[in-house]
């Protein structure tokens, strides 16, 4: 059974540039660094977000964005999308109202990874239920 996001990792040909870019976007430094890998803890659950030197990828590079889209909850999809674009990300899928309060967008970061963002009312509900009132 899947119990929660343990780690998500993105690959980059230029790991130092990726670390710098994500530090700028996330507003925090990576908490863990070893040669070829750096990791941030982010969000309400301090989820692990790793950056790996692409030479360690278990597959050959593809031409263009590929893979699953993991969407991170954000409070304002348009504002977050605008910030990502201002930092050099390229829009993959603009802001979309998916109905019932769900709003999504996605970008390709400067290193070829797909980053999804989403306002998710279920996330807000679950977070509210475990936060003392």
Residue 40 falls inside a structural domain: yes
Q: What's the rounded Cα separation, in Å, for the pair 15 and 12?
A: 5
Residue 62 falls inside a structural domain: no
pLDDT tens figures, 76-119: 999 999 999 999 999 999 999 999 999 999 999 999 999 999 99
Q: What's the rounded Cα separation, in Å, for the pair 37 and 58?
A: 14
Sign (positive/negative) of CA torsion 55, 61, 67, 69?
positive
**What CATH number has the domain bearing residue 128?**
3.10.180.10
Residue 61 falls inside a structural domain: no
Residue 99 falls inside a structural domain: yes
Q: Where are the beta strands (DSSP E) in 1-133?
A: 7-12, 32-34, 37-42, 47-53, 71-73, 90-99, 102-108, 114-119
Cα atoms in the Cβ-side hemisphere of radius 13 Å centred on 104: 14
Residues 121, 79 share a domain: yes
Residues 79, 49 share a domain: no
Residues 82, 41 share a domain: no
Residues 71, 133 share a domain: yes
Residue 121 falls inside a structural domain: yes
Residues 46, 76 share a domain: no
pLDDT reported for residue 4: 79
Residues 125, 71 share a domain: yes
The answer on pLDDT for 67 being more than 80 is no
pLDDT reported for residue 6: 87
pLDDT reported for residue 28: 97
Looking at 35, 56, 77, which one is the last position of a domain? 56
Please state whether the predicted TM-score (pTM) of the whole model is above 0.85: yes
| Mean pLDDT over the full length of the chain | 93
pLDDT reported for residue 65: 80
By residue range, what is the domain housing residue 108? 67-133
pLDDT reported for residue 39: 97
Q: What's the rounded Cα separation, in Å, for the pair 56 and 52?
A: 7
Q: How many residues are listed for the chain in this entry?
A: 133
Residues 128, 72 share a domain: yes
Give the count of domains, the chain: 2
């Amino acid at each position: 059974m899947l119990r929660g996001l343990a780690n998500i990792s993105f690959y980059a040909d230029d790991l130092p540039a990726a670390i710098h870019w994500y530090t700028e976007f996330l507003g925090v430094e990576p908490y863990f660094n070893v040669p070829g890998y750096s990791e941030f803890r982010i969000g309400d659950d301090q989820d692990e977000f790793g950056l790996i030197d692409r030479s360690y990828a278990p597959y050959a590079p593809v031409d263009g964005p590929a893979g699953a889209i993991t969407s991170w909850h954000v409070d304002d999809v348009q504002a977050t999308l605008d910030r990502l674009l201002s930092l050099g990300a390229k829009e993959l899928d603009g802001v979309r109202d998916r109905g019932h309060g769900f709003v999504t967008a996605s970008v390709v970061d400067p290193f070829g990874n797909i980053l999804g963002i989403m306002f998710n009312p279920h996330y807000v509900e679950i977070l509210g239920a475990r936060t003392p009132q």
